[in-house]
Structure 1
Amino acid sequence: MNYSTNRRQFLSTSIAAAGALAAQPVGAIEPINRVPGHQFKLSLAAYSYRDLLTGNPPKLTLSDFIQDCARFGIEAAELTSYYFPESPDAEYLRRLKGECFLQGLDISGTAIRNDFCLPAGEQREADIAHVKRWIEYADMLDAPVIRIFAGKVQPGQSMADAEKLVIDGIEQCCQYAAKYGVFLALENHGGITTKVDDMLRIVHGVESPWFGVNLDTGNFRTADPYGDLAKLAPYTINAQVKVVMHPDGRPGEASDYNRLADILMTTGYRGYVVLEYEEGGDPRQECPKALEELRKAFT
């Protein structure tokens, strides 16, 4: 692929390859077009094991987590970056890749912390370098996508200026990601992505074909979180499901997995559905229960 290809050209090529036409107006960004139907593959985020994978020493390792994912009978594991050594070498990354392969697991992706709202300067450059470094690591792992954040408005910064900085940071990193065939997925993760319309302005502003949305079902604390998720669904390249949702003005309530599955089915989503368990109890006991419920809904 020509790495300078913009998103519209890339998606148009995908449409032609699939033998489908998109009857929609041309915009700065277009929904992802896939062959008819849907396909869901279950994964589990290592963040679900956060209390077990941290500590001195941690109770479990990523290898233990991989073994559990295999026992749970799912298709993949998300190897969240927070639980890696600070500077993992190629041997370590390829060993994890090999462990997943031998257990019949894909690596559905990884996730990093970053803030693209930071103004020009040393800290911003360090964050961009961090994203690029994890693009290289993802390539070694054969992880197809990295979950990224937008960040939050900095002191003295307008929303419009923050959005421009985020779009610029994403474009810079996507240009690098294209060299490795790794996608970057922006998560609705508070900050300037707290509201769906604000997030969509960023999504529409990015032209790289190596970009999309990480749909986090638990992060919109709005009056109609399901409706907001539906607005993002057409751009989703990775779906992350929480056990609980937090509609504005109401206490947390159990996620309606069937409704979430319908939202993704409607857009013809094909990809990983990643459980990120954040509730109480032993995740080694609770995650397989939640995954079983997800399996029933996401079929």
Structure 2
Amino acid sequence: MKLGLSSYSLYSALKSKELNILEAIEWIAEQGGEHIEIVPMGFSLDDNPDLTDALRQKAEKVGIEISNYAIGANFIMPDEEQYEQEIERVFKQVDIANRLGVKLMRHDVAWRPIGETSILQFEQDLPRISAACRRIADYAAEYGITTSVENHGYFVQASDRVQTLIHHVNKPNFKTTLDTGNFLCVDENPIKAVKKNIHHASMVHIKDFYYRPEKFDPGEGWFQTPSGNYLRGSIVGHGDIDIYEIIKVIKYSSYEGYISIEFEGMEDCKKGSKISLDNVRRIWEQV
């Protein structure tokens, strides 16, 4: 296991300027993290080769790896011109990933509001989405990069939809960034979903949530699933997901890649990230 942290876990510190992304890399190394996943929120690498080079050099200096580069994208566009522009934009992001020195890159594929996320709508959008992913995977293959879709954003979040997209793209370098907690956001059992999709994973996120059923409205700080249940991000190991069983599934699968903590709780992000790292490391040894 190579355990590390997504820079998204430190987003509130990056946004407030408590840390910059170079300081975040150093902080992760100090906590015993073995890698950082770069998510350009709170900073940007667009048209910024100096910062891109500085990130790579900083990681080398402090002795950790840059595991994955994760960006947003949406191939549901109103016309052909905007569709092509979005694909070209992601091509440029692949160039950035190569400059970072990573061999893994996650890009989003589609977004729709919850009211438009039916299986019928997914089937209608699937040909355009998969065609875009196929072209990007081919482009990334020239650099030896594996691209991936993450299970988030409601529309392409359930395990079966992720698998369906992977099979339609049908490229050996297109897989999934498997977020172990995000299945709960679409009311899917996380343990069962992780068992289904772990063999398709190029990257694994570990995340935890507090869960309340629909009849208990917990108020501020929570969001709802499509079925109306309530979730709030937590420190890994403090929430209601069976993290012990999740980690056991990963540990005894064929997956041997990076594991990245994605903390999005209400606690101080550095404290929450540190405890999450320590908990996953400890639980990994116990299961």
TM-score (norm: length of structure 1): 0.79
Cα deviation, residue 251, structure 1: 4.9
From 183, 198, 202, give the equivalent of 2:146. 183
Are residues 1:115 and 2:78 paired?
no
SS of equivalent residue, structure 2 residue 36: strand
Report the counterpart of residue 28 of structure 1 in structure 2. Answer: none
Q: Match for 1:242: what amino acid?
A: K
Cα deviation, residue 182, structure 1: 1.3
- Structure with larger RCO (C-alpha < 8 A, sep 6+): 1
CA contact (8 A) 2:12 2:269 kept: no
Report the counterpart of residue 298 of structure 1 in structure 2. Answer: 284
Report the counterpart of residue 233 of structure 1 in structure 2. Answer: 198
Cα deviation, residue 92, structure 1: 2.1
Evaluate the alpha carbon distance shift between residue 141 and residue 219 of structure 1 in structure 2; reply closer, same or farther with a 3 A threshold.
Answer: same
Report the counterpart of residue 102 of structure 2 in structure 1. Answer: 143
Query: Pairwise mapping of residues 1-299 of structure 1 onto structure 2 (< 5 A)?
Result: 40-55=1-16, 58-85=17-44, 87-118=46-77, 120-153=79-112, 158-221=121-184, 222-244=187-209, 246=211, 251-252=230-231, 253-299=239-285
CA contact (8 A) 1:220 1:247 kept: no
* Separation in structure 1 between the aligned mates of residue 79 and residue 143 of structure 2, nearest angstrom: 26
Higher mean displacement: 94-103 or 238-247:
238-247
Cα deviation digits, residues 64-105 of structure 1 (max 9, x gap): 101110110111011212233352433321111011001010
* Separation in structure 2 between the aligned mates of residue 77 and residue 158 of structure 1, nearest angstrom: 35
Evaluate the alpha carbon distance shift between residue 99 and residue 261 of structure 1 in structure 2; reply closer, same or farther with a 3 A threshold.
Answer: same
Evaluate the alpha carbon distance shift between residue 182 and residue 119 of structure 1 in structure 2; reply closer, same or farther with a 3 A threshold.
Answer: farther
Unaligned runs of 5+ in 1: 1-39
* Separation in structure 1 between the aligned mates of residue 284 and residue 213 of structure 2, nearest angstrom: 26
Q: Across the two proteins, how many residue pairs are aligned to each other?
A: 258
Report the counterpart of residue 220 of structure 2 in structure 1. Answer: none
* Separation in structure 2 between the aligned mates of residue 153 and residue 216 of structure 1, nearest angstrom: 19
* Separation in structure 2 between the aligned mates of residue 297 and residue 126 of structure 1, nearest angstrom: 44
Q: Match for 1:78: what amino acid?
A: E
After superposition, the CA RMSD in angstroms is: 2.3
Cα deviation digits, residues 104-134 of structure 1 (max 9, x gap): 1000111101012335423222321221111
Evaluate the alpha carbon distance shift between residue 296 and residue 170 of structure 1 in structure 2; reply closer, same or farther with a 3 A threshold.
Answer: same
Identity of aligned residues (%): 24
CA contact (8 A) 1:151 1:191 kept: no
